[in-house]
Amino acid sequence: MGESEYLNESVLELIGLRKRFGDHQALEGLDLKVPAGSCYALLGPNGAGKTTTLNILLGFIEADAGTARVDGVDVQANPAKARTRIAYIPEQVQLYPRLSGFENLEYFHGLGSSEAEPAARLRDCLNQAGLAEGDCDRRVAGYSKGMRQKVGIAIALARRAPVMLLDEPTSGLDPQAAWELNNSLRSLAKQGVTMLMATHDLFRAREVASRIGILVNGCLQQEIDPAEVAGPELEARYLQEVQQALGVQA
């Protein structure tokens, strides 16, 4: 197998995913592939089905139809095995309020990996995520939303998984932290980590992603190579897609 072939191989593969909640069709045959070592940004209005897609990849909800593969593992068949390949930053990072940020990281990380990690490396992850040194050992009960988000990012970074799923990772982050996160993601991609990121931040998506998909009503409307479009044009195309799709529906 040649190197270029390997790079083109899809680590995340979604084929014909469908999911219905009651009488609402959340996903309507979603096809999506993310090659190894690249970052895919999923844009779309609220309720488009971004979180649902990530939930299916995590095995938290079962798709009605279609296949989801993570690093070659069929999620429906073996969700536990698929999860061992994934690091995940949820839409809302939830932590144990009575533990400190560091203790939370230590706990989540310790449970997720078989080998013990030196405390110094875990602290590095917190720093990399942008949490101030002085905040690491305070109880999470006193954290701001962005501080919690940073701990969530640190948990995902520490995991060193081949796949990273991010659900609006920059929500609540100050610009400085968002910028640092983008740097981290770019260096992760260089290390071969495959990323799928749901986001509303067009600007950051263009900076970090190697491919952008616009999801509306559970359907991928358009895929864009960010290298080929400028910021304003991306926004225009996004708005056009959304309005068109919603207009068609109405």
Partner 1 sequence: MIRRLVAKELTELRRDGRVLGSLVILLLLGMGAGFSAWQQARVQHQAWHAASDGEHERWLGQEAKHPHSAAHYGVYAFRPPGPLAAFDPGLSPYLPVTVWMEAHRQNEALYRPAQDSGSAGGFIPLSPAIIVGTLLPLLLLLLAAPMISGERERGTLRQLLAQGVRPERIVLGKGLALAVLLLLLLLPLWLLAFAALLMTGAQGDVLLRWLLTGLAALLFLGGFAVFCLLVSACCRQTRTALLLLLGIWAFGTLVAPRGVMEWAEARHPTPSALDFRQAIDGGLADGAERERRIQARAKALLRQYGLDDLDDLPVNFNAVRLQEGEEHGNRVFDAVFGELHDGYLAQERWLQGAGWMAPFLAFQALSSGLAGSDLLHFRDFVDSAEAHRRMIQKAMNDAIYLQPETDGRRYVAAPELWATIPTFDYRPLATADVMAFYGPGWTALIAWFVVPLLALMAVSRRLAP
Ligand X SMILES: Nc1ncnc2c1ncn2[C@@H]1O[C@H](COP(=O)(O)OP(=O)(O)OP(=O)(O)O)[C@@H](O)[C@H]1O
Residues that bind partner 1 (CB under 8 A): 58, 60, 80, 83-84, 86, 88, 90, 92-96, 98-99, 103, 107-112, 139, 152, 155, 159
Q: Which is nearer to partner 1, 109 or 211 (CB)?
A: 109
The answer to whether residue 46 forms part of the interface with ligand X (CB under 6 A) is yes
CA dihedral (231, 237, 240, 46) positive or negative: negative
Q: Which is nearer to ligand X, 125 or 224 (CB)?
A: 224
The answer to whether residue 249 forms part of the interface with ligand X (CB under 6 A) is no
The answer to whether residue 64 forms part of the interface with ligand X (CB under 6 A) is no
CB of 143 to ligand X, least distance (A): 22
Q: Residue 60's binding partner, choosing from partner 1, Mg ion, ligand X, none, with beta-carbon cut-off 5 to 8 A by kind?
A: partner 1
Q: Which is nearer to Mg ion, 49 or 130 (CB)?
A: 49
Output phi, psi for 184, to 5 deg. Answer: -60, -45
Candidate residues 40, 43, 51, 245; the one interacting with Mg ion per rule CB under 5 A: 51
Q: Which is nearer to ligand X, 26 or 70 (CB)?
A: 26
Q: Residue 120's binding partner, choosing from partner 1, Mg ion, ligand X, none, with beta-carbon cut-off 5 to 8 A by kind?
A: none
Alpha-carbon distances of 151 from 55, 155, 166, 209, rounded to whole Å: 21, 6, 14, 22
Which distant-in-sequence residues (6+ apart) come within 8 Å of 25 by Cβ? 18, 19, 217, 218
Candidate residues 21, 78, 132, 144; the one interacting with ligand X per rule CB under 6 A: 21
Q: Compute the distance between CA of residue 243 and CA of residue 74 in angstroms, rounded to an integer.
A: 35
Helices 175-190 and 145-159, packing angle to 10 deg: 10
Structure tokens at 241: 């897609």
The answer to whether residue 52 forms part of the interface with ligand X (CB under 6 A) is yes
Task: Give the residue from 83, 52, 89, 46 showing the smallest Cα distance to 181.
Answer: 89
CA dihedral (9, 15, 22, 249) positive or negative: positive
Q: Which is nearer to Mg ion, 26 or 36 (CB)?
A: 26
Segment interacting with Mg ion (CB under 5 A) among 12-20, 42-50, 95-103, 111-119 = 42-50
Structure tokens at 142: 């006193």
CB of 39 to partner 1, least distance (A): 19
Q: Which is nearer to partner 1, 136 or 245 (CB)?
A: 136
Q: Compute the distance between CA of residue 25 and CA of residue 6 in angstroms, rounded to an integer.
A: 35
- Reported residue count of the chain is 250
The answer to whether residue 26 forms part of the interface with ligand X (CB under 6 A) is yes
Output phi, psi for 133, to 5 deg. Answer: -50, -45
Which chain residues interact with Mg ion by CB under 5 A? 50-51
Q: Which residues bind ligand X (CB under 6 A)?
A: 21, 24, 26, 44, 46-52
